[in-house]
Amino acid sequence: MRRSRSDDLLTFEICPHYIHRFCVDLPKNALIIETGRRDLREKPQISGVWEGQTQSARGSGSAVAEQPGFGEGAAVRMRLLRLTASIAVLAVLFALMDTGAIFARLRGADLGWLGMALGGLTVLTFLMAWRWQMTANALDIELRYPRAVREYYIAQLLNLVLPGGLVGDAARAARLKAPRGLRQAAQSVIIERFIGQTTLFVLMFFGFLIAMFLPGGPDWPLWTWWFLAVGMVVAVLGWLYARQKGVIARFLATALDLMARPRQVVLSLTIALLIIFNFYACARATGTVLPANTLFTLIPLILTAMLVPLSVGGWGWREGAAAALFPLAGEFPSAGVAASIAYGAMMLLAASPAAFLMMLHPGQTPGGKDGSASMM
């Protein structure tokens, strides 16, 4: 049975990275994930972070739908803007660089290293699905590992091919049947993403600390050290804020508690190391051997560019960051672009089994007979 429009209105009052950000409207506007502040002070105190808010969100559904900018036209324009941004950045890069050198590196790519990157990305999907299962189970959501793997594959494919990079996560949350509804499901998805990004940032931070004392490393520009200083300040403030009251404070406290558990620490560090290796393998495949003292600094910085929301699957911004940062390792900008394109292609190839999974389980895929969200 298809859910009603009012039953599926949510407020993503979750963490600083997601406040004021749309996911997408799913087919026929059956599900709208919207931003907009709510008064959360009167909500009951229970085990979850946001449980008890659903009725408030449902009761205000019509008002939200009528707000300017929440319509289908605005969503379409935003998706077009993200697609245009990715294409424009790539066009500028190709106009400023030696495209012949870029395509020469891609044509001569080492299939062995590409195969290792593809295998690493496949293993990565299974590990991240395991991390999501652990996070969901810790939040009292029953999620079996095969289901977690299937949903993670589908989410990755949607994130890579649709503008914004959050569509797959939105569908992953909408399709997870949590005891206390979509709010609790969204909590599991976003905490899992938060743990992953935070672990990669921590690894990068320690990489820069080590690079400060190792001779012969890249001559990092001043802005990188300001970036690290700001990151440290934000981390300390976030830890202090998590000890306060409020929705975001409870989110941070919950996420930090889960992230500090030994199994999560080991798993998340393994995932972060594998992410770095996958990009390194793509660089090797396209003829670049990155120095060891850049693996935990340069590569995380490049991949951080994928978080820019004005893109499709991080395309354009990732290549731009690689072109800007590879010269610090003594390589040509074209080498960075080639490595980044190879990485993006391997990510798409690694996520392609999602298409088979959606055909294999047509009733459980977005837009299936169970009324869950569609891929648009």
pLDDT digits (tens, 9 = 90+) for 87-135: 888 899 899 988 999 999 999 999 999 999 999 999 999 999 999 999 9
Higher pLDDT, 309 or 41: 309
The pLDDT, as a whole number, for residue 320 is 93
What is the pLDDT, as a whole number, of residue 361? Answer: 64
pLDDT tier for residue 318 given thresholds of 50, 70 and 90: very high
Distances 166 to 191, 222, 238, 269 between C-alpha atoms, Å: 14, 32, 23, 23
Query: Residue 206: what pLDDT?
Result: 87
Q: Distance between CA atoms of 253 and 105, rounded to whole angstroms?
A: 46
- Bridge partners of 32, per DSSP, are 9, 25
Provide the pLDDT for residue 71: 56
Predicted confidence at residue 360, as pLDDT, reads 78
- Rounded mean pLDDT, 32-43: 32
* pLDDT band with cut points at 50, 70 and 90 for residue 339: very high
Outline where DSSP puts E strands in the chain: 9-11, 32-34
Residues 154 and 358: beta-carbon distance below 8 Å:
yes
Q: At 253, which amino acid appears?
A: A
The pLDDT assigned to 371 comes to 32
User: Phi and psi for 25 in degrees, rounded to 5?
Assistant: -85, 130
Residues 127-159: pLDDT tens digits? 999 999 999 998 888 899 999 999 999 999 998
Percentage of residues in the chain having pLDDT higher than 90: 35
- Rg (C-alpha) for the chain, rounded Å, is 21
Q: Cα–Cα distance between 159 and 170 in angstroms, integer?
A: 9
The pLDDT-based confidence of 302 (bands split at 50, 70, 90) is very high
- Give the other-Cβ count within 10 Å of 310's Cβ: 18
Q: Looking at per-residue confidence, does 310 or 368 come out higher?
A: 310
| pLDDT of 317 strictly over 50 | yes
